[in-house]
């Protein structure tokens, strides 16, 4: 079997004990030559910016020492456009890199907890403060946790109690464009060769810290060792101005000719003084944010960033701008805007460039930040949203906070906002107004958790559906006499009732007429792998649709009926044979008290020998709704809404199936020229569910449904032989629908000895492999009326290139946890990515022993076409990969996903 998705894990932990015994020599080396009993090196980690904001210490220089008023000065920059539009850039600068002002209730937490991730730490030491050696270093760029613990512990040496430590974030191992150099003897501190990624979405912030000189004064007692991290880069953001008169869509922003690679020399003092960039060997280039879509008219004051929630900031090396750096904005209509930048970017500040057309005494800034991600369906609180609101006097560069407030909601996306349109699922916003400032006011949304037991709802609907067949039995093949008769090997039952199935071979009757094409092939004669005349249970040619009429009524007198197996108790009551109008039928009842999601196989017998069997699928009517899916070749296949035999065993989820979003309008309370700045934040909650279940499984070419649950979970009196041996034949398959025949020569020997026909599920097929050839449904097809097994190319749209291992065309389920919760993939139905179709990961039954494997982890789905005399074509997938054109031995038990005829 070609199984791309099988994973093996080995129990390697047995050797772990050997790793605990470390030699004394190794211990001494790891601890810098100590005996391992001294105190551990550990740091107290602080973020200077967060601490200053949380304490309210927002006077100039509180975050970045040495900033002057000119460093935070804004202004207006002349812009040039290839379309002669009136445009300029209004620049404003605030202290801090994307500063955020937290709610009062969380300030203590921010002071106590660093938001940093792992960082790199280096240390130098000596016998006295004046004798701290820069070389050799004590340790260099060791990976350190955000709480200040080294991943590989290092201990102090009382013989060398004086030390100085340096730290760099991010951890050197996680950012390939950064090199931490050894401590320099002249400066007494290390340097960092740092390169800004040209792709803004991959840029990282750079923060550094130094403890200053620290003394290990009391042996075995850990000294206080503080690391105060400060920002070394400049944050750059672009935004759309208020009420631009031209309507365009921005799709790319660049900073051109900027310093992209330089050297940063760390401070050797605790207060950060002395740190600076060495621009002697700079490299210049461009930083690009592309793939955005920002309307200049529909999104006033919105920051130009990536997809919703990305909040991308240009993290740039501080540098002189005049004569070097140009801002470039590109619009989808070809409009290009270039702006020569002036002045200097200072470390530890954020500069915003806003497209504008108007001038005023004050420059007003109102910038929203959406929650970093949509809330999950079972979450009652969103991630934080933010509002930055202030104004600046362009003459004096004085900055003042501007109050803001929420003035309306738009829940139906019609562009109209009102307070009454706040949806019920948005319980409240923790902050609906704020005093404003250069640091963002933050709040969260409280949401409802609208979760329901979808399995209970599904079963309740089945039980409460109007009973059918109260006067006369409800014939499933005529929908109670409302349509011409069409038959199949599988029938969907969606209500209690008294039911009837005609004793007809598969789909041998269609729209009231004999469908001889289902049991007679017209393929070119002489092909030993074509079954020209389909066989009955005695291996005789089928000559009539009715079981009791074929072969001159050789099977007349069908006299027995039974439930072969069921995956829930008492789904089918009192199966019996009746004759009405000269025709034979299988009658049975389904009670309201017992009906539930599930499956059963019923069979009819003559003299104790099974002559045919059918699959009964207890599911809602909409299980057979059609979902159009376009494959890679551009052909549309209308798949059933649910996989054949889908039986959920656990299913709870949101009461809504599409993401729900409300737009919240915010305005500044002070107007500029009679117009108040306004913007919008978006609060979104995604749908979701936790689902488990099973589908019926099929061996290639057989009509017989096999349980997708363990035999131990079948109803009492079920009979299912999981491993029936290498004894497959048409006759044995029909007579023993409970036998799962295992792999061997009976499957692949040349017919009629072997079960290796090409056309068991497509009457006219003589081809092998992957194609979009028309499938002619046969009497061995397991699908319900109006549906058939799909062509072998039907699944190719589920990867970007139509091949195994191509980029998965899935919505959300590439994440392992979401895939598990969803019990499989949600595939996009076309390249437009506007609709999805769910495929459960229902596992498979092994061709070797019939065992049920990988339920909930892997999915396998047969097509109607063989890959060879040995194997069939199938779709396979896991959470991390999709193979739409795979092949495997015919004896495997895979799922079936019908397509419309």
Does the pLDDT at position 773 exceed 80? yes
Closest to 709 (Cα-Cα) out of 851, 590, 573: 851
Same domain? 550 vs 481:
yes
Same domain? 682 vs 694:
no
Quick one: pLDDT band at residue 305, thresholds 50, 70, 90? low
Both structure tokens of 201? 């979405």
As a whole number of angstroms, the distance between CA 853 and CA 565 comes to 20
pTM attached to this predicted model: 0.63
Same domain? 117 vs 146:
yes
Quick one: pLDDT band at residue 1, thresholds 50, 70, 90? very low
Quick one: pLDDT band at residue 106, thresholds 50, 70, 90? very low
Segments of 729-843 assigned E as strands: 787-788, 824-828, 836-840
Q: What is the mean pLDDT of residues 62-88?
A: 84
Q: Is residue 277, in this structure, part of any structural domain at all?
A: no
Express each pLDDT in 608-642 by its tens digit. 999 999 999 999 999 999 999 999 999 999 999 99
**In this structure, what CATH number is given to the domain that contains residue 379?**
2.60.40.10
Same domain? 465 vs 569:
yes
Q: Is residue 25, in this structure, part of any structural domain at all?
A: no
Same domain? 95 vs 58:
no
Same domain? 425 vs 547:
no
Both structure tokens of 677? 């700045």
Q: What is the mean pLDDT of residues 643-661?
A: 95
Neighbouring C-alpha atoms within 13 Å toward the C-beta of 231: 26
Q: Is residue 35, in this structure, part of any structural domain at all?
A: no
As a whole number of angstroms, the distance between CA 638 and CA 208 comes to 58
- pLDDT value of position 32: 40
Q: Greater confidence, 156 or 358?
A: 156
Same domain? 154 vs 94:
no
Average pLDDT over the chain, rounded to an integer? 90
Does the pLDDT at position 20 exceed 60? no
Express each pLDDT in 5-15 by its tens digit. 332 222 222 22
Does the pLDDT at position 309 exceed 60? no
- Compute how many other C-beta atoms are within 10 angstroms of the C-beta atom of residue 533: 11
Express each pLDDT in 320-368 by its tens digit. 999 999 999 999 999 999 999 999 999 999 999 988 865 445 788 999 9
End-to-end CA distance of the chain: 30
Same domain? 199 vs 325:
no
Same domain? 249 vs 178:
no
- pLDDT value of position 675: 84
What is the number of H-type helices and E-type strands within the chain? 8, 57
- Reply yes or no: is the peptide bond before residue 752 cis, omega within 30 of 0: yes
As a whole number of angstroms, the distance between CA 848 and CA 363 comes to 75
Q: Greater confidence, 676 or 393?
A: 676
Per-residue b or e along 764-789, where b marks 16 or more CB atoms closer than 10 Å to that residue's CB: bbeebebebbebbbbbbbbbbbbbbb
Q: What is the mean pLDDT of residues 210-220?
A: 95
Closest to 165 (Cα-Cα) out of 210, 221, 109: 210
Query: Which is it for strands 80-81 and 336-340: parallel, antiparallel or unpaired?
Result: antiparallel
- pLDDT value of position 812: 87
- Which stretch of 51-55, 223-227, 336-340, 696-700 has the lowest confidence by average pLDDT? 51-55
- pLDDT value of position 100: 73
How far does CA 210 lie from the centroid of its chain? 40
Q: What is the mean pLDDT of residues 279-307?
A: 80
**In this structure, what CATH number is given to the domain that contains residue 298?**
2.60.40
Q: What is the mean pLDDT of residues 470-491?
A: 97
As a whole number of angstroms, the distance between CA 310 and CA 375 comes to 14
CB 693, CB 646: distance < 8 Å:
yes
On the 0-12 / 13-18 / 19+ scale of CB atoms within 10 A, 676 is middle
CB 797, CB 836: distance < 8 Å:
no
- pLDDT value of position 52: 81
- pLDDT value of position 245: 61
Same domain? 321 vs 422:
no
Quick one: pLDDT band at residue 897, thresholds 50, 70, 90? very high
In sequence order, the 6+-apart residues with CB closer than 8 A to the CB of 708 are 567, 645, 647, 694, 695, 696, 697, 842, 843, 852, 855, 895
Q: Which residues pair with 164 in a beta bridge?
A: 124, 213
As a whole number of angstroms, the distance between CA 497 and CA 677 comes to 65
Q: Is residue 338, in this structure, part of any structural domain at all?
A: yes
As a whole number of angstroms, the distance between CA 95 and CA 387 comes to 16
Phi/psi of residue 447, each to 5°? -120, 160
DSSP 172: G
Q: Is residue 274, in this structure, part of any structural domain at all?
A: no
Where in the sequence is the domain holding 759, given as residue range(s)? 634-648+690-900
As a whole number of angstroms, the distance between CA 707 and CA 566 comes to 8
Closest to 262 (Cα-Cα) out of 193, 215, 362: 193
Closest to 344 (Cα-Cα) out of 328, 322, 313, 314: 322
Quick one: pLDDT band at residue 445, thresholds 50, 70, 90? very high
As a whole number of angstroms, the distance between CA 310 and CA 577 comes to 65
User: What domain count does the chain have?
Assistant: 5
The H-or-E segment that residue 369 falls in is: strand 363-369
Q: Greater confidence, 120 or 657?
A: 120
Q: What is the mean pLDDT of residues 21-47?
A: 59
Same domain? 681 vs 696:
no
Same domain? 194 vs 293:
no
- pLDDT value of position 105: 37
Please report, for residues 84, 181, 476, 644, the alpha-carbon distance to residue 510 in angstroms, rounded to integers and kept in the order given.
Answer: 69, 79, 13, 20
Both structure tokens of 402? 């501007």
In sequence order, the 6+-apart residues with CB closer than 8 A to the CB of 569 are 594, 715, 716
As a whole number of angstroms, the distance between CA 734 and CA 151 comes to 64
Q: Locate tokens 């054949």: which residue?
A: 644
Quick one: pLDDT band at residue 73, thresholds 50, 70, 90? confident
Does the pLDDT at position 53 exceed 90? no
Does the pLDDT at position 217 exceed 80? yes
Q: Is residue 186, in this structure, part of any structural domain at all?
A: yes
Q: Is residue 8, in this structure, part of any structural domain at all?
A: no
Q: Is residue 268, in this structure, part of any structural domain at all?
A: no
Does the pLDDT at position 709 exceed 50? yes
Does the pLDDT at position 272 exceed 90? yes
Q: Which residues pair with 192 in a beta bridge?
A: 180, 264
């Amino acid at each position: 079997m070609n199984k791309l998705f099988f994973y093996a894990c080995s129990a390697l932990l047995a050797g772990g004990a050997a790793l605990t015994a470390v030699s004394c020599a190794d211990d001494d080396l790891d601890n810098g030559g100590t005996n391992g009993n001294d105190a551990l090196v550990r740091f107290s980690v602080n973020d200077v910016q967060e601490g200053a904001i949380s304490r309210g210490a927002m006077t100039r220089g509180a975050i970045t020492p040495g900033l002057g008023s000119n460093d935070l000065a804004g202004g207006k920059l002349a812009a040039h456009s290839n379309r002669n539009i009136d445009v300029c850039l209004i620049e404003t600068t605030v202290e801090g890199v994307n500063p955020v002002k937290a709610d009062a209730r969380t300030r203590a937490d921010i002071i106590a907890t660093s938001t940093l991730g792992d960082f790199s730490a280096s240390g130098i030491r000596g016998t006295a403060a004046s004798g701290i050696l820069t070389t050799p270093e004590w340790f260099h760029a060791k990976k350190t946790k955000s709480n200040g613990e080294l991943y590989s512990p290092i201990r102090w040496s009382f013989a060398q109690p004086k030390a100085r430590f340096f730290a760099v974030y991010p951890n050197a191992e996680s950012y390939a464009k950064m090199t931490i150099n050894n401590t320099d003897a002249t400066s007494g501190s290390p340097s960092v060769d740092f390169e800004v990624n040209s792709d803004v979405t991959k840029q990282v912030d750079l923060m550094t810290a130094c403890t200053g000189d620290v003394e290990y004064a009391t042996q075995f007692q850990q000294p206080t060792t503080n690391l105060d991290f400060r920002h070394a880069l400049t944050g750059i953001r672009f935004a759309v101005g208020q009420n631009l008169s031209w309507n365009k869509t921005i799709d790319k922003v660049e900073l051109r000719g900027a310093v992209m690679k330089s050297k940063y020399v760390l401070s050797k003092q605790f207060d950060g003084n002395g740190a600076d960039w060495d621009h002697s060997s700079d490299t210049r280039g461009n930083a690009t944010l592309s793939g955005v879509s920002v309307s200049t008219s529909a999104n006033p004051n919105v920051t130009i960033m990536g997809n919703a929630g990305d909040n991308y900031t240009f993290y740039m090396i501080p540098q002189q701008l005049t004569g070097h750096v140009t801002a470039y904005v590109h619009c989808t209509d070809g409009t290009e805007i270039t702006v020569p930048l002036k002045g200097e970017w200072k470390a530890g500040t954020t500069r915003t460039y806003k497209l504008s057309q108007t001038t005023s005494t004050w420059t007003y800034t109102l910038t929203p930040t959406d929650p970093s991600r949509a809330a999950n369906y079972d979450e009652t609180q969103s991630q934080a949203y933010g509002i930055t609101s202030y104004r600046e006097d362009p003459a004096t560069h004085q900055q003042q906070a501007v109050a803001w407030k929420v003035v309306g909601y738009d829940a139906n996306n019609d562009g109209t906002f009102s307070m009454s349109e706040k949806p019920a699922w948005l319980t409240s916003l923790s902050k609906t107004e704020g005093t404003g400032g250069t640091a963002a006011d933050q709040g969260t949304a409280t949401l409802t958790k609208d979760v329901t037991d979808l399995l209970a709802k599904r079963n309740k609907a089945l039980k409460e559906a109007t009973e059918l067949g109260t006067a006369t039995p409800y014939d499933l093949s005529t929908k109670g006499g409302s349509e011409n008769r069409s038959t199949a090997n599988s029938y969907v039952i969606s209500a209690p009732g008294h039911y009837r199935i005609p004793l007809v071979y598969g789909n041998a009757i269609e729209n009231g007429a004999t469908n001889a094409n289902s049991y007679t092939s017209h393929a070119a004669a002489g092909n030993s792998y074509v079954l020209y005349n389909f066989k009955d249970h005695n291996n005789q040619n089928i000559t009539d649709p009715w079981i009791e009429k074929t072969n001159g009524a050789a099977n007349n007198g069908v006299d027995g009926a039974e439930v072969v197996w069921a995956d829930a108790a008492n789904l089918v009551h009192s199966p019996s044979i009746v004759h009405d109008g000269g025709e034979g039928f299988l009658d049975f009842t389904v009670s309201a008290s017992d009906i539930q999601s599930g499956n059963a196989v019923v069979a009819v017998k003559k003299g104790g020998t099974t002559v045919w069997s059918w699959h009964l699928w207890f599911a809602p009517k909409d299980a057979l709704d059609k979902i159009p899916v376009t494959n890679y070749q551009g052909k549309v296949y209308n798949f059933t809404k649910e996989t054949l035999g889908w039986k959920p065993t656990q299913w709870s989820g949101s009461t809504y199936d599409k993401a729900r979003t409300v737009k919240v309008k915010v305005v500044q309370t002070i107007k500029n020229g009679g117009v108040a700045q306004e913007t919008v934040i978006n609060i979104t909650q995604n749908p979701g569910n936790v689902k488990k279940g099973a589908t019926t499984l099929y061996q290639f070419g057989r009509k017989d449904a096999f349980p997708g649950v363990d035999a131990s979970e079948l109803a009492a009196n079920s009979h299912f032989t999981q491993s029936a041996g290498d004894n497959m034949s048409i006759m044995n398959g029909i007579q023993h629908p409970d036998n799962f025949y295992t792999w061997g020569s009976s499957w692949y020997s040349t017919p009629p000895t072997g079960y290796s026909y090409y056309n068991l599920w497509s009457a006219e097929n003589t081809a092998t492999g992957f194609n979009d050839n028309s499938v002619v449904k046969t009497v061995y097809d397991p699908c319900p009326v109006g549906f058939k097994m799909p062509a072998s190319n039907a699944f190719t749209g589920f990867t970007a290139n139509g091949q195994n291992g191509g980029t998965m065309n899935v919505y959300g389920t590439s994440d392992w946890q979401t895939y598990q919760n969803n019990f499989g993939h949600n595939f996009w139905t076309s390249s437009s990515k506007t609709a999805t179709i769910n495929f459960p990961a229902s596992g498979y039954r092994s061709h070797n022993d019939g065992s049920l494997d990988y339920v909930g982890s892997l999915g396998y789905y047969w097509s109607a076409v063989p890959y060879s005399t040995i194997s069939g074509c199938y779709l396979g997938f896991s959470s991390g990969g999709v193979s739409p054109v795979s092949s495997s031995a015919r004896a495997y038990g895979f799922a079936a996903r019908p397509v419309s005829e």
